[in-house]
Structure 1
Amino acid sequence: MIETASLIVTNLIIAALIGMIIGYLIGKNSGGTYKPSKNTDNTDENIDSKSKSSVNPIFRKNSSVDNKPLILSSPRPSGKDNLTKIKGIDLKVEKDLNKLGIFHFNQIAAWSNKNCDWIEEFLSLQGCAKKNQWIEQAKILETGKETVYSQKVENGEVDVS
């Protein structure tokens, strides 16, 4: 029994060494080496407009992604929801949410308190989402019903620009 176990361990060590050697040789022959950017400032001003569209905004900020809410790469074929129907979301905030991958009411309705905190921190909207009850409003709007605020937006009584 011990002889079998020692043979298994020996084989695992040999396989690991062979794997490291093969990985080293492949990495060495690929020619490319990792060169980290010398720019340690992660602000949006240091990223040109071409790369802004190709870099996910989550990687441009110093924010933990542990509590990041569920995101989509693009809206559903039926189109994105009008997030400005939620009190506290104007066109700028809606655009920022869309850049993050949040397009629909049901995404916001599924947020936890930690997701809400993450969004507030990431978009620099301290307390806005909780104070305006984005999650509760999104739960109502995802069912197809309207809130008092969303009706005012629909009627043009509220300026969301």
Structure 2
Amino acid sequence: MFEIASLIVLNLVIAAFVGLLIGFMLGRASKASYTPPVDNTESMDDGAGLKPNARRSNINPIFKKNSSVDNKPLILSSPKQSGKDNLKKIKGINSKIEEDLNKIGIFHFEQIAKWTSKNCDWIEEFLQLPRCVKKYQWVDQARILASGKETVYSQKVEDNEVEVD
């Protein structure tokens, strides 16, 4: 009985060794044929007037930063047919921040009005605006503006009493 058990164990050890050897050889063979993806963004542009490092990026900006995608707010691929809202009516949003919000897919007051605390944290981290969203209460302002009402600040923006650039 001991002899049969020892032969079975010996056969298992030999089979494991042969399996590892074959796997190693197959891995090396497939590694040699692997070619990394090529960046074809230069071939898409005609290159006229562009600096060598100025290339168009087709990568979604959400994946360029270290922010956790789990807390990302609801985004849209494009604004609704009615057009995008003037996000500069929210105190704390200037032209640059509005442009950044539009780049990541935030175009409407309704979107901002639905943000949770974690969504606010994500936006602050992603756009590198420490405590700006909560400090200026973007969500509360967006709720008012989404309902069709105006805030004191948004009325000043409408009347060009406030510089938002």
When the two structures are superposed, what TM-score results if normalisation uses the length of structure 1? Answer: 0.70
Aligned to 2:36: 35
Give me the whole-angstrom Cα distance separating, in 2, the residues matched to 1:151 and 1:80.
18
State the one-letter code of the partner of 2:77.
S
Change in CA separation of 1:146 and 1:50 when aligned onto 2, cut-off 3 Å = same
State the AA in 2 paired with 1:50: R
Out of 147, 154, 160, the position equivalent to 2:151 is 147
Q: Does 1:134 align with 2:135?
A: no
Taking the TM superposition and a 5 Å limit, the aligned residue runs for 1:87-102 are: 87-102=91-106
The whole-number CA distance in structure 2 between the counterparts of 1:35 and 1:134 is: 43
Q: Distance in 1 between matches of 2:113 and 2:35?
A: 41
**1:34 deviation in Å?**
6.2
Match of 1:56 in 2: 60
Summarize deviations over 1:32-80 as a string: whole Å, max 9, x none: 956279xxxxxxxxx74411xx321101111110100000000001100
Q: Equivalent residues in 2 for 1:117-132 (5 A)? A: 117-132=121-136
Which runs of no fewer than 5 residues in structure 1 stay unpaired? Answer: 1-27, 38-46
CA RMSD of aligned residues (A): 2.1
For residue 50 of structure 1, give the secondary structure of its aligned residue in structure 2.
Answer: coil
**3-state secondary structure, aligned to 2:112:** helix
Tell me the equivalent position of 2:119: 115
Identity %: 68
Aligned length: 121
Q: How far 1:140 moved relative to its partner?
A: 0.2
Question: TM-score w.r.t. structure 2 length?
Answer: 0.69
Runs of 4+ in 1 over 3 A off after TM superposition: none
Partners of 2:162 and 2:80 in 1: CA distance: 27
Which structure is larger by alpha-carbon Rg, 1 or 2? 2
Q: Match of 1:160?
A: 164
Question: Could you tell me which residue of structure 1 aligns to residue 88 of structure 2?
Answer: 84
Higher deviation after alignment, 148-157 or 55-64: 55-64
